[in-house]
Chain A
Amino acid sequence: MSDTPFTQLDTAGIARTLSQIAEQPADLADAFFERIEKVELPPADQPPGLRVWRESGLAIRLLREGRTWLAGRDQIDPEIFQDALRRVARAMPRAPYPLPDLGDDTWEEPPEAPEVLTFPTAVSQALRTHHIDFPVNLTVRRHRRWIRVVGTHLASGTESESFYSCDAEMPWARYGCLLDELSHEKAEELARRLVNLYRARDAEPPPPWRGASILGASATAVLLHEAVAHALEADTLAHGGHPEAALGVRMGSRLLDVFDDPSSAPSSVRRSADDEGFPVVRRCLLRAGIVEQPLCDTAWTRRSDRLTAGAGRRGNRHLPPGPRSSHLELIAGEHSRQSLLADAEGGLYLPEADRGRLDPVTGEFVLRFPYGRRIENQVPGALVGPCWMRGRLSDLLDKVTGVGAQTSAAGAGWCAKGGIKLPVWATCPEVRIEGVEIGP
C-alpha cells in the first residue's frame, strides 16, 4: 500500500456494487472510507506516556426521498463492505456483483510524532522569556485524517487533513487552540496567550457597555462562526422554514462579505472535496450583509435547485453528513488598526472569544471573552476580566461599523454542534462593533 490510503480502491467495482441499492432514479448511494490517527502527549505528570489512536472503517449510505440509511463499520474489508451494503439496501438483487477490491488496509508507518514531543518544552521556554512562572499542564495532539468517497457516479480523490490541538490547564483557567503546525512561532504565540490569561486572572469584568468595541481577528472568527456560519447551515435554517427562504435576506451590515472556502484553508487542512465527495466551492455566505448561499450538503440540494452542495461534513463514518463550515473568511475592509481604535476611545478591545452559542429558534446569541482591554489614548490599555456579548442575531451583525484592512489566520477551534466535534478554521480582520451590550 502506498503512503496515501485508499488509492488502490477499485472505484469502478464499488460504483457497480453501489448501483445495486440505488434502484430509483433520484437515489444517491455512496461509500465513505476513513482513516484517522491521533497522537497525544499528555501532561508530564500523567501516565501512560505517548498515546496513539488509529482507526479505519467505512460507511455505506443510501439517500432517498429525504430519508437516509447508513451502515458504518470499523474495518475495511470486501465482506464487511458487502454486509454494510446489505444493511442499507431496501431490496437486494438476486445476483449481486462480485465483491470489489478495497486494497490493503494496513498502517505502514510507526506512530511517530517528534514535533509533538518537543512542543511543550518550546512553550515553557517561550513562557520564561515573559519572566513569569506559573504551572501549566499542557496536552499536545496531532490529528490526521484521510477520507475518500465513492458514489455511483462520482469518486473523489483521497482527501487528507493534518493539524494539532493544544489544551493548557492552569489553576485559574483552561485554554484550548488548534494549530496548523508546531513551530517556535506557534509556541511563542501560545505562550503569549497564556500570559495574557495569567495577567487577566484577577481583573474585574467591565461594567455593561454599549459603545464601540473592537474584536480582534480571533474573536471575530468565533463571532462569524456562531452568528453567520451556524445561522446559515441549512439544518439550522430549517427550524424556521425552508432554507431557500433565506436567500437575499439582509442579515448584517453592508461591510460584511463572508465566505466559506475549504480550498483556501491552511495548506495542511485544505480540501478540494467535502465529506460527500463533492467539489468544495468558494461559497459566499454574505455579500454586503445579504445572504447569498447557505451551507448545504447533498440532502438539502435535493430539496431546492437554488442551493449548492459541497459543504457536507461528517463527524466520523458512523454519522451521516450535515451542512457545516470549514474555513470562514471575512473580506478585509478599509480601516487601519489606528483608525478602528481611534473611533472606539473608552471602549473595549477584545482579542479573543472562548465560546459562543446561537439559539437557532429564538436567534438569541451569546459570546464569551476571557479577558479584554480598555481602549485608552487609542491603544488597548488596562486589562478587564471575563465578559459576555449578548443580543439577537438580527440586531448583532447590523452593528458592525468598521472592518480592518489586515487579515490573519485566526480563531481556529473545535465546533461541537449537536455533539459532533469538527475542526474549523478562519481568516479574518479586526472589526469594530457598536451598540451591542457587552458586560459581566
Chain B
Amino acid sequence: MSLGEPLLEVLDTLRRQSWEEVEVFHKKGRSRTMQYTLYGDSTSLRQEEGWAVRAGDRRRSFYYAASGPPKPSAFWPEADGSGLRLPSARPGLPWSPPSNLDAPLIGEGEARGFFSGLARELDHELQGARLLSGYLDDGSSESQLASSREIDSHVRHRVASLHLEAVGPSADTTSVSLDVADRDARHFSPAALARRLADLLLVAEKGPTRPRDRGEFILAPPVAVGLLAALSGLWVGPEAEKRSAMLIDRNGRLGSPALTLIDDGRLPGGILEAPVDGEGQPTRRVTLIEEGSFRQPLLAWWQTPSSLKRSSGCSLRPGWRDLPSPSPTHLFLEADPSIRAVSLIQNLSRGYYLIGLSGSPRIDPDFSRFAAPVSGFAIASGRPTGTVARAWLVGSVSALLNGIVAKARDLTFSSIGGGMVGSPTVLVKGLELRQQT
C-alpha cells in the first residue's frame, strides 16, 4: 500500500476543520537487532510504524503522534500555546536515491557469525581480551511528509549501527567501547574493529606516561569528531556567528587554512543522504568555514526567515515520535585526498597519536578553552614509544582551530545527536597534554 493515502486523508480532515497550517508525517521501518553478551544473545525483529501531526494557526497549535498508520479519527489535543508557522515547498536540486537501499537486512546467522568472528579476532589481536557485549542494529525505513503548504516528500533510509564493549586481559582493566555506523551492516569488518578495540584496550591497560607535555598531536577521527561536535555552537544555529566572531583574528580567520567545514544533507554515500530534511526543505551542501574563514552558520529555514538562501534543509526527524529539530546532517572537516593517515604518523618526529575519547570534551561557556579526556600513544620518530591514558588534551579553542596543519584522507563519520559528524585524521600543533589528577 502506498504511504500516501492515509496520510493525505488526515491532512484533508484537518484542513476541513479550518486549520491554516497542517503537516502530517508518516514513517515505517523494519530492523533486525542482535544483542550479544558473554552469556547468550537475543535477536529482535522490529516493525515500527507511526505518524505525527503539527497543526495550528497564528494563535494556537498542537502536536499529536501515534503508532500505526495515520487515522483521521484520532482525538486531537486541545490547541494551546504559541501559533504555528510551517515552511513552504521549495525547489531542490535533482536527486537520485542511492542504489543500495534495498539490500536485505542482515540475517540472524550472519549477525551471530559476525560477533563470534569479532570475539575471535579480538583475542587474536590481544590475547585474553574479551568482547563483553555488542549491539548490532540493521534497519531500513521510509517516510512521507505532506503539508498545507504544498510539501509532499518521500524519503528512504538504510542505517546500520554497532556498539561494542570489550575488556582487556588483566584483572583491573577498565572496559572500552566503540560505536560505528554504516549503511549496510555487512560492511562492518570484524578484523578492523578488533584492531581498534585492541588498541583502545592496550592504551587503557598500559596507562599514563608523562604527566604534562606539549608537542604535535595526531587526532584520530573519533577524537577530532568529538571536538567538532562539542564546538558545534561555533558553526551551528543563529548564535554561531556572534560566538565565532570572538575568535576571529585580525586577518579575518577563525582557523588555519586547513580548516574547511561543510554540512551536506545530500552527501553522496552519506548514511543520512536525502533530498529533503524532516520538514520537507531541500538539503544542500553548505560551506560553513572555508580555509579558515567563517562563511555562514548552519541554519534551518525558520532561523533565517529574512534570508532563506542562507538556510538549508537541516531539521532532523529521526523517528515518528520526534519533532523536527535543527542539527548537523553530515557535518565534516574536509579531507585531503593526497595524504594517508599512516604517513602523518610516520612523519611525526615527537608527539602523540590520540585514538580515543573517554568522555565528552568540556568547552568553556565563552568558547575560550577546551579540555578533552583522551587516550593514545606517545610517538617518536614515527614509532610508538609508550601509551597515554587518563589524560586531558587542553588548550584554547582558537589554538585548536588555528593549529590544524594537516589532515589525511580517511574521512570517518560518527552518529552524534541524530546527525553525522565526520573528520579525517588531523595533525594539530600548539596544544598541551595533562594527566588527570
A residues at B contact (CB < 8 Å): 39, 41-42, 44-57, 66-75, 87-88, 107, 109-112, 117, 235, 238-239, 299, 303, 318-320, 359-362, 364
Residues of B contacting A45 in the complex (Cβ-Cβ under 8 angstroms): 82
Contact in complex: B63, A66 (CB < 8 Å): no
Taking the closest CB of chain B, its distance from the CB of A234, in whole angstroms, is 9
Contact in complex: A48, B82 (CB < 8 Å): yes
Give CA–CA (A70, B42) in the complex, Å: 8
Give CA–CA (A109, B74) in the complex, Å: 10
6 contacts between A and B (CB under 8 A): A44-B81, A48-B62, A66-B39, A70-B43, A318-B44, A362-B172
Give CA–CA (A55, B48) in the complex, Å: 11
Q: Closest chain B residue to A238 by CB distance? A: B39
A318 partner, pick from B38, B46, B321, beta carbons under 8 A: B46
12 other A-B residue contacts (CB within 8 Å) besides A48-B82, A87-B45: A41-B81, A44-B81, A56-B67, A66-B39, A70-B43, A71-B45, A74-B49, A74-B67, A111-B64, A239-B38, A299-B40, A320-B44
Contact in complex: A48, B40 (CB < 8 Å): no
Q: Closest chain A residue to B130 by CB distance? A: A239
Contact in complex: A361, B175 (CB < 8 Å): yes
Contact in complex: A47, B66 (CB < 8 Å): no
Give CA–CA (A73, B44) in the complex, Å: 11
Query: Does residue B15 face the partner (Cβ distance < 8 Å to A)?
Result: no
Contact in complex: A51, B63 (CB < 8 Å): yes
Q: Closest chain B residue to A65 by CB distance? A: B40
Contact in complex: B45, A52 (CB < 8 Å): no
Residues of B contacting A110 in the complex (Cβ-Cβ under 8 angstroms): 75, 77
Give CA–CA (A87, B43) in the complex, Å: 10
Given contacts A47-B84, A54-B66, contact A74 B75 (CB under 8 A): no
Contact in complex: A51, B62 (CB < 8 Å): yes
Q: What range describes how many residues of B lie at the interface?
A: 35 or more
Proximity string of chain B (122-138) to chain A, C-beta cutoff 8 Å, 1 when within and 0 when not: 00000000001000000
Contact in complex: A48, B67 (CB < 8 Å): no
Given contacts A70-B42, A75-B49, contact A359 B174 (CB under 8 A): yes
Residues of A contacting B80 in the complex (Cβ-Cβ under 8 angstroms): 49-50, 117
Stretch in B53-61, B259-267, B420-428 with 4+ CB within 8 Å of A: B53-61
Contact in complex: B37, A235 (CB < 8 Å): yes
Q: Closest chain A residue to B29 by CB distance? A: A74
B43 partner, pick from A49, A51, A68, A364, beta carbons under 8 A: A68
Query: Does residue B102 face the partner (Cβ distance < 8 Å to A)?
Result: no
B66 partner, pick from A55, A71, A239, beta carbons under 8 A: A55
Contact in complex: A50, B42 (CB < 8 Å): no
Residues of A contacting B40 in the complex (Cβ-Cβ under 8 angstroms): 66-68, 299
Residues of B contacting A320 in the complex (Cβ-Cβ under 8 angstroms): 35, 42, 44
Given contacts A48-B84, A49-B56, A75-B68, contact A39 B77 (CB under 8 A): yes
Query: Does residue B339 face the partner (Cβ distance < 8 Å to A)?
Result: no
| B42, B79, B83 interface centre (most CB from chain A within 10 Å) | B42
Contact in complex: A75, B67 (CB < 8 Å): yes
Residues of A contacting B173 in the complex (Cβ-Cβ under 8 angstroms): 361-362
Given contacts A70-B44, A238-B39, contact A49 B321 (CB under 8 A): no
A53 partner, pick from B38, B49, B61, B66, beta carbons under 8 A: B66
Proximity string of chain B (338-355) to chain A, C-beta cutoff 8 Å, 1 when within and 0 when not: 000000000000000000
Contact in complex: B56, A52 (CB < 8 Å): no
Given contacts A110-B75, A111-B75, A361-B167, contact A54 B44 (CB under 8 A): no
Give CA–CA (A72, B47) in the complex, Å: 6
Query: Does residue B41 face the partner (Cβ distance < 8 Å to A)?
Result: yes
Q: Closest chain B residue to A77 by CB distance? A: B68
Contact in complex: A67, B41 (CB < 8 Å): yes
Taking the closest CB of chain B, its distance from the CB of A102, in whole angstroms, is 14
Residues of B contacting A235 in the complex (Cβ-Cβ under 8 angstroms): 37, 39
Residues of A contacting B300 in the complex (Cβ-Cβ under 8 angstroms): none
Residues of A contacting B48 in the complex (Cβ-Cβ under 8 angstroms): 72, 74, 318
Give CA–CA (A238, B83) in the complex, Å: 52
Q: Closest chain A residue to B61 by CB distance? A: A48
B174 partner, pick from A87, A107, A362, beta carbons under 8 A: A362
Contact in complex: B44, A364 (CB < 8 Å): no
| A71, A111, A112, A360 interface centre (most CB from chain B within 10 Å) | A111
B75 partner, pick from A107, A117, A362, beta carbons under 8 A: A107
Contact in complex: B65, A49 (CB < 8 Å): no
Contact in complex: B68, A47 (CB < 8 Å): no
Residues of A contacting B79 in the complex (Cβ-Cβ under 8 angstroms): 48-50
Query: Does residue B78 face the partner (Cβ distance < 8 Å to A)?
Result: yes
Residues of B contacting A299 in the complex (Cβ-Cβ under 8 angstroms): 40
Given contacts A67-B41, A70-B44, A320-B42, contact A50 B67 (CB under 8 A): no
Give CA–CA (A361, B287) in the complex, Å: 44
Taking the closest CB of chain A, its distance from the CB of B169, in whole angstroms, is 12
Residues of B contacting A73 in the complex (Cβ-Cβ under 8 angstroms): 47
Query: Does residue B50 face the partner (Cβ distance < 8 Å to A)?
Result: yes
Proximity string of chain B (159-195) to chain A, C-beta cutoff 8 Å, 1 when within and 0 when not: 0000000010000111100000000000000000000
Taking the closest CB of chain A, its distance from the CB of B39, in whole angstroms, is 5
| A70, A110, A320, A361 interface centre (most CB from chain B within 10 Å) | A361
Taking the closest CB of chain A, its distance from the CB of B69, in whole angstroms, is 8
| A51, A88, A109 interface centre (most CB from chain B within 10 Å) | A51
Give CA–CA (A87, B56) in the complex, Å: 41
Taking the closest CB of chain A, its distance from the CB of B64, in whole angstroms, is 5
Given contacts A235-B37, A239-B132, A364-B174, contact A74 B42 (CB under 8 A): no
Give CA–CA (A46, B3) in the complex, Å: 30
Taking the closest CB of chain A, its distance from the CB of B431, in whole angstroms, is 23
Contact in complex: A319, B67 (CB < 8 Å): no
A48 partner, pick from B45, B47, B81, beta carbons under 8 A: B81
Contact in complex: B61, A49 (CB < 8 Å): yes
Residues of B contacting A361 in the complex (Cβ-Cβ under 8 angstroms): 132, 167, 173-175
Residues of A contacting B323 in the complex (Cβ-Cβ under 8 angstroms): 51
Residues of B contacting A41 in the complex (Cβ-Cβ under 8 angstroms): 81
Nearest 3 CB-CB pairs, A to B? A49-B81, A49-B80, A66-B40
Residues of B contacting A362 in the complex (Cβ-Cβ under 8 angstroms): 172-175
Q: Closest chain A residue to B66 by CB distance? A: A54
Contact in complex: A52, B62 (CB < 8 Å): yes
Give CA–CA (A117, B62) in the complex, Å: 13
Give CA–CA (A71, B42) in the complex, Å: 11
Taking the closest CB of chain A, its distance from the CB of B425, in whole angstroms, is 28
Taking the closest CB of chain A, its distance from the CB of B33, in whole angstroms, is 8
Give CA–CA (A44, B167) in the complex, Å: 47
B64 partner, pick from A52, A56, A70, A112, beta carbons under 8 A: A52
Residues of A contacting B84 in the complex (Cβ-Cβ under 8 angstroms): 47-48
Taking the closest CB of chain B, its distance from the CB of A94, in whole angstroms, is 23
Give CA–CA (A68, B35) in the complex, Å: 9
Give CA–CA (A73, B48) in the complex, Å: 6
Give CA–CA (A375, B275) in the complex, Å: 61
Residues of A contacting B175 in the complex (Cβ-Cβ under 8 angstroms): 359-362
* A-facing residues in B270-326 (Cβ within 8 Å): 321, 323
Contact in complex: B62, A74 (CB < 8 Å): no
Taking the closest CB of chain B, its distance from the CB of A171, in whole angstroms, is 10
Residues of B contacting A51 in the complex (Cβ-Cβ under 8 angstroms): 62-65, 77, 323
Give CA–CA (A46, B175) in the complex, Å: 41
Give CA–CA (A75, B46) in the complex, Å: 12
Taking the closest CB of chain A, its distance from the CB of B109, in whole angstroms, is 12
Residues of A contacting B75 in the complex (Cβ-Cβ under 8 angstroms): 107, 109-111
Contact in complex: A52, B35 (CB < 8 Å): no
Contact in complex: A46, B82 (CB < 8 Å): yes
Give CA–CA (A182, B121) in the complex, Å: 54
